[in-house]
Amino acid sequence: MSKFSKKKSGEVPAVSTASLPDIVFMLLFFFMTVTVMKDNSLKVENILPNANEIKKLDKKDRVIYIYVGKPSKEYEKVYGTEPKIQLNDKFSDPSEVGSYILQERAKKHQDLQNFLTTSLKVDKNANMGLISDIKQELRKVNALKVNYTTYEGDAFRNLQ
Amino acid sequence: MARRAGAPEVSAGSMADIAFLLLIFFLVTTTIETDAGLDRMLPPMEPPEDDVVIKQKNILQVIINRNGQLLVDDELTDIKGLRLKAKDFLDNNGDGTCTYCKGKKNAESSDNPTKAIISLKNDRETKYSTYITVQNELVGAYNDLRDREANRLFGKDFTEMEATYLDQQTPPSEKEALKEKVKQIQDLFPQKLSEAETSSN
C-alpha cells in the first residue's frame, strides 16, 4: 500500500515559459505581414460572391472602393433592409457616386489619376438594378475601369 | 574598486505580455483584405461616331432573367453549358480567315474571333451572384481559348503570363519581354464583351 501513496519528490517542475515571447512574436509578425489596416468600418453586409477567373487588384493607392449590401443589423431600423451603397463611412444614393469618384480622384497623386480602378465590393444578395445605376454613374464621370471584387472559389457555389 | 560579478540579468518574464498586447492590437485594427476580382471595362458614355453595322450572327446574345435563368441566342441554357457555348461561338471561324481556330466553321455562327461579340443583358432584379457567375464563365471562355493559343505558341498558360506581367515584383526587363507576348495573345482573341443597359421589366 505504501508503495503507491509515496511520492518521489515534492512537485512537478515548472514548464519553462522562456520561449513564449518568441512564439507570440512569430504570431505577431505573421499578422502584421498578411493584414492591412482597416480604413473604414463596414456598415453593410458584405459577403462577396465567388469567382475563379480573377485578377489581382492594383496597388491600394490606385483603387477606389464602393461597398454595396444590406444595412447591417444595427442600421436596419433606420435604413431598412434594401441593399444600400456605402461610400466612405456613410450610406449614399446612386446619384452621389459620381461626385464621390471625382472627389477621391482629386485626392490621389496626379500621375495616378488616369490609372484608377473602382473596386465594387457588392454583397452577393444585392440586385443588379442598383449595380446598373452605379455603372451608369461611373460611365458619366469616365471611371471605366472597374473590378468586381470577389472571393476566390468555385463560381457555381454562388447559385445555391 | 571591486569587480562586479557581471550585470544582473533582466527579467524577460513580461516580454510575453508585451508581445501579446501588440498582437491583440494588430488583430483588432487590421483585416485580411480580399484584393482580387473580375476586371471589366465599362463602355464610354458617348456613342462611337460611326455607327457600325454588326451582323446578327456575330453577336452571341446572353440574357439573364430575374430568376437567374439564361437565354443564349434564344435558347434556354444552363449556366454550366455557357462556357462551352461561348467557346464554340468565339472559335467558330465562319469565314475561314482565322488560321488558329479549331471551330466548326458553322455559317450561322461568328465569322472570326476579332468580329465575334458577346452581348450580356440582365434584368434589374437579377441577383448579383448570378451575374458574377455568368461574367466568370464568359471571362473563363476567353481565358480557355487564350490559354490554348499561349500553350501552342509559348508553351505557357496565358493567365499565368498575364499574372506575371501585372505583378509588381516582376523585374522590368522580364515585363518588357512578356508585354509583346501578352498583347499578341490578346489580339488573337480580343475580349469583346458588351454590356447592354438593364431592362426594367
Q: Does the CB of A98 have a partner CB in chain B at under 8 Å? A: no
| Count of structural domains, chain B | 1
The whole domain housing B141 covers 62-195
Is pLDDT of A6 > 80? no
The reply to whether A7 falls in a domain is: no
Q: How confident is the model at residue B198 (pLDDT cuts 50, 70, 90)?
A: low
In a domain, A35, yes or no: no
Find residues 109-138 of chain A whose CB sits inside 8 Å of chain B: 117, 119-120, 122-129, 131-132, 135-136, 138
Dihedral angle sign, alpha carbons of residues A96, A98, A99, A105:
positive
The pLDDT tens digits of the residues spanning B23-55 come to 888 888 777 666 788 888 888 777 666 667 778
Residues of A with Cβ-Cβ distance to B80 under 8 angstroms: 156
In this complex, is the C-beta atom of A18 within 8 Å of any C-beta atom belonging to chain B?
yes
Q: To which H or E segment does residue B40 belong?
A: strand B36-41
- Give me the domain span that covers residue A127: 50-155
Q: Is B54 inside a domain boundary?
A: no
The CATH code of the domain that includes A127 is 3.30.420.270
At residue B4 the predicted structure's pLDDT band, cuts being 50, 70 and 90, is low
Reported as a single tens digit per residue, the pLDDT across A79-127 is 888 888 988 888 888 888 989 999 989 988 888 888 888 999 899 888 8
Lowest mean pLDDT among B5-9, B49-53, B168-172, B178-182: B49-53
Distances (CA, A) of B154 to A55, B185, B190: 21, 10, 18
B163 close contact with A: CB closer than 8 A: yes
CB A105 within 8 A of CB A113: yes
Burial class (CB in 10 A: 0-12, 13-18, 19+), A119: buried
Whether B24 maps to a domain, the answer reads no
Neighbour count for residue A160 (Cβ, 10 Å): 5
In-domain check, residue A122: yes
How many independent structural domains does chain A possess?
1
Q: Is residue A119 part of a domain?
A: yes
In a domain, A4, yes or no: no
Residue B70 lies in a domain: yes
